[in-house]
């Protein structure tokens, strides 16, 4: 499952509201004031639903695409402009989450990662791979295992075969 932005709207109406805030899509003004606000808003939400249905996308897909477009400084004037960016937007979002997780690592874990990155250049990459793939919730435990195994005279790899330091 992909990590979602914390403020991802849960409904098409919520998505419309966010897009309106971000890009000014569907702004209710004098030209649209001829109909009641609730009716106008329902029509705009129907447009969002139609785009989602046509491109077989979820609300989260278009929201991540909107965040990506905003970060890139693109001017989005219609909801229908967003679906083409969904794959690129998810890659951007996942890279951003990964960077945040690495930057949020405690100092010891980050130091271990740097040490193992240097060792991976010499062919000893078992611990580097393990540290990189470690979920944030398990970092302290994996870091303690790394400390105990790297400080012993023979250093077992995560696979269980012993190596001499």
Percent of the chain with pLDDT over 70: 82
pLDDT tens by residue, 73-100: 998 999 999 999 999 999 988 888 877 6
The pLDDT, as a whole number, for residue 30 is: 72
- What residue segments make up the domains of the chain, in order of their start? 12-94, 104-164
**Average pLDDT, integer, range 44-59:** 95
pLDDT band at 155 (very low <50, low <70, confident <90, very high): very low
Q: How far is residue 38's CA from residue 41's CA, in Å, rounded to a whole number?
A: 5
Banded model confidence at residue 37, pLDDT cuts 50, 70, 90: confident
Contact status, residue 131 vs residue 112, Cβ threshold 8 Å: yes
100-to-21, 95, 153, 163 alpha-carbon distances in Å: 25, 9, 35, 33
Q: What is the pLDDT of residues 96-139, one digit of tens each?
A: 887 766 665 567 777 887 788 777 766 667 787 888 888 877 87
Task: DSSP letter for 164, please.
Answer: E
pTM here is: 0.61
């Amino acid at each position: 499952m992909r990590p979602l932005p914390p403020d991802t709207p849960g409904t098409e109406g919520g998505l419309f509201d966010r897009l309106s805030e971000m890009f000014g899509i569907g702004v209710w003004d004098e030209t649209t004031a001829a109909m009641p606000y609730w009716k106008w808003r329902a029509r705009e939400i129907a447009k969002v639903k139609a785009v989602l249905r046509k491109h077989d996308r979820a609300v989260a897909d278009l929201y991540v695409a909107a965040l990506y477009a905003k970060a890139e400084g693109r001017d989005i004037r219609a909801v229908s402009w967003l679906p083409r960016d969904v794959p690129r937007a998810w890659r951007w979002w996942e890279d951003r989450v990964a960077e945040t997780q690495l930057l949020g690592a405690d100092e010891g874990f980050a130091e271990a990662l740097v040490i193992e990155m240097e060792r991976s250049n010499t062919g000893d990459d078992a611990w580097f791979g393990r540290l990189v793939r470690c979920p944030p919730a398990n970092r302290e435990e994996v870091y303690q295992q790394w400390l105990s195994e790297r400080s012993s005279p023979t250093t077992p790899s995560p696979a269980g075969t012993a190596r001499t330091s």
